[in-house]
Amino acid sequence: MHYYVGIDIGGSSIKYGLIDEAGHLLKKDQLKTEKEGTKIIESIEKIVNEFQKEYEISAIGVSVPGIVEEDGFLTTAGAIYDLYGTHLKNVLQEKLLLPVFVENDAVSSALAEKWLGAGKDYANFFTTVIGTGVGGAIIIDGKVVRGAHATAGEFGFMIVDEIVKNDTRKATLSLNGSVQYGLVNYYYESQKGSYKLSELNGEKIYQLAKEEDEVAQQVIERLYQKLSMALFNVLTFLDPEVILVGGGISANKEFIEELNHRVEKLKRDHKDMSNMTLAEIRPCYFLNDAGIYGAVYKAIQNS
């Protein structure tokens, strides 16, 4: 039996686990993400060394936010600015003396779904993860599409709003269609001091909307508009078999149903597309462990 360590580096925590070649998650835990890149590397070393006391590790898979080149170089790393420009694969291999494979977090999510989740029966699908920001990944003929500059599938960069004062970033999907920016922050900035930012999350805002909070209803309506238009664009230019939506909000059945309803309406209202078939939007199977599973699957495929 071969054993692999999967490590999912996020902005606030590092989730990690031990998975065997059959996909069984044997152990998992998490720790706080440090700001310094060197301390993150040290944390990964400690994680792997601890597993090596009991198991012979075949390879390491690492999931990380940002633009990740196929060779493991981090052009960006999301909110982990100290890892920008780091060749993470080489650094970790030199320290651990084991094969290391590094992948973008949204791609890792797609790989997890392809291996053991909602994408295992599809050769062509699109995955998006909606959380603090919005990520995306494209699978065509069972393989990840990276593009010429490793930015294929970067769904969050799509422009979905009017550009004001030459600030393109504020018009992107990540700042208009994510749970944190498109929902929580937008509600916080629109309400009249009834709640502190720390008291708000996606679940709370949905609850407020059900209690007839008009601001919450308006913010949720806006979120649906931005996301449904962006997903409609993906469906028309990519024509996947299915779109899989991840992130905690994807567990909300109402959220997925409403996205499907709105995309269908966009198609119906387009006279040239009304009779066309578009793929269904479905929730991902994996939630919090997607990065661990996807990183390990990449390691299994390449080691």
The structure's pTM equals: 0.92
Place of tokens 């294929």: 152
Which CA distances in Å does 185 have to 179, 197, 211, 242?
Answer: 8, 7, 19, 30
Question: CA–CA separation, 280 vs 259, rounded Å?
Answer: 10
Report angle CA 112, 234, 66 to the nearest 5 degrees: 50
**Averaged pLDDT for residues 232-250:** 95
Q: pLDDT band at 194, cuts 50/70/90?
A: confident
Predicted pLDDT of residue 193? 84
Place of tokens 């009017």: 162
Question: CA–CA separation, 80 vs 17, rounded Å?
Answer: 21
Classify domain 3-104+288-302 at the CATH superfamily level: ATPase, nucleotide binding domain (3.30.420.40)
**Averaged pLDDT for residues 182-202:** 92
Predicted pLDDT of residue 242? 99
Classify domain 118-283 at the CATH superfamily level: ATPase, nucleotide binding domain (3.30.420.40)
**Averaged pLDDT for residues 211-233:** 97
**pLDDT-above-90 percentage for the chain:** 93
**Averaged pLDDT for residues 216-239:** 97
Query: In this predicted model, what pLDDT tens digit does every residue of 8-63 receive, in sequence order?
Result: 998 889 999 999 999 999 999 999 999 999 999 999 999 999 999 999 999 999 99
Question: CA–CA separation, 61 vs 252, rounded Å?
Answer: 29
Question: CA–CA separation, 83 vs 78, rounded Å?
Answer: 9
Query: In this predicted model, what pLDDT tens digit does every residue of 69-82 receive, in sequence order?
Result: 999 999 999 889 99
